[in-house]
Amino acid sequence: MQILFSEQLQKTAFCTKIIAKLKTEKEDYKMGRIFTWDEISNLRVPRTLDFQKVAGLLKEEISREPSIVSAVIFGSVLRGDFNCRSDIDCLVIYDSVREIQAATFLQQLDEKARALNVPINFTPCDHTIATTRFHQLGPLFLKHIYRAVETGGLIKGDFRGRLAASVMPREEIESYVRSKMYTIQEGYAEMRTFGDERLAVFLKKVLEAPMHVALKMLLFIGEVEDDSKKAVAAKYAMIFPEELWDRLFRIIDIDKWYTGEVNRQLDKKDRHTYNLCMREIRLEIPQTLKFLRSNILYLTKSG
């Protein structure tokens, strides 16, 4: 596997090159699902039509479900730039009085979507907590939701006027980074006992954690203008030390490489090659941990 960004590049030259490269790329980075060999070999990988069917299902069933107060589809499916590794992102504000009914309804929707091999990433919040500062919807998340409503993602009940203001204090950012570190460490220690499905979920976290943490670090120092993955990566490279951004782009390259391998496997299945691909991702776990550790040390030095 080729790594596109050499460790020998000087930081200024690197930043110039990466920014120029990012400007030529029409789409944002696509991180997402890791598939088991069983899913690949049995073609249980979603197609474009499957995403469209599930999005239609969400709109139809949520619109008439009384326990759901508001719902918004956002992310790659709304933008139309999804791929087979994507999921469907959906914010759901439900009636806290009908909590059991709402949970049962969402579980049933999830089952229907999975029958079409499409995962739904629900972000549920009850309508009572949504009006307080204790909801889990951060400022950047709400920015995405507002943009999604304006571009056709609203399924039901525009709740924007009733959502309480949200901030992400320093302590919450520190807790997030610490939690990511522990999750990867714990999974690394237990990985040999994982079945194929659990391993796939864990490796997805391994590939996604550096980008998520990079965004939180930019939030920490107040340097987020654009939270697309491309913009986050470029901004991070301009601000943070070489040992950090080098590892970030290494993981980004591996994630891109994996997407290409999935597409190749769908065209011509080869279990041996796919197993080698999964092995390559497993070998990157120490790099992800080094990246997270370096960012935690940066936070400690920042006081």
What are the structural domains of the chain? 11-30+168-301 (no CATH), 48-162 (3.30.460.10)
Residue 29 has pLDDT above 60, yes or no: yes
159-191 as b/e, with b when 16 or more CB fall inside 10 Å? beeebeeeeeeeeebbebbeebbeebeebbeee
The pLDDT assigned to 16 comes to 56
Region 49-63: what's the mean pLDDT?
97
The pLDDT assigned to 170 comes to 83
Q: Helix (H, G, I), strand (E, B), or coil: what is residue 121?
A: strand
When the pLDDT of each residue in the chain is averaged and rounded to a whole number, the result is 89
The pLDDT assigned to 300 comes to 86
Q: How far is CA 111 from CA 87, 107, 115, 137, 248, in A?
A: 14, 6, 6, 25, 35
Nearest alpha-carbon partner for 68 in 47, 31, 94: 94
Q: Please, what's the largest Cα pairwise distance for the chain?
A: 59
Residue 85 · residue 123 · CB < 8 Å: no
The pLDDT assigned to 4 comes to 38
Nearest alpha-carbon partner for 218 in 208, 228, 204: 228
Cα(229)–Cα(289) distance, rounded to whole angstroms? 20
Among 63-67, 122-126, 156-160, 225-229, which stretch is predicted with the lowest mean pLDDT?
225-229
Region 109-132: what's the mean pLDDT?
96
Tell me if the pTM is above 0.95: no
Strand 68-74 versus strand 154-156 pairing type:
antiparallel
Nearest alpha-carbon partner for 92 in 131, 114, 121: 121
Q: What is the pLDDT of residues 283-301, one digit of tens each?
A: 999 999 999 999 999 888 8
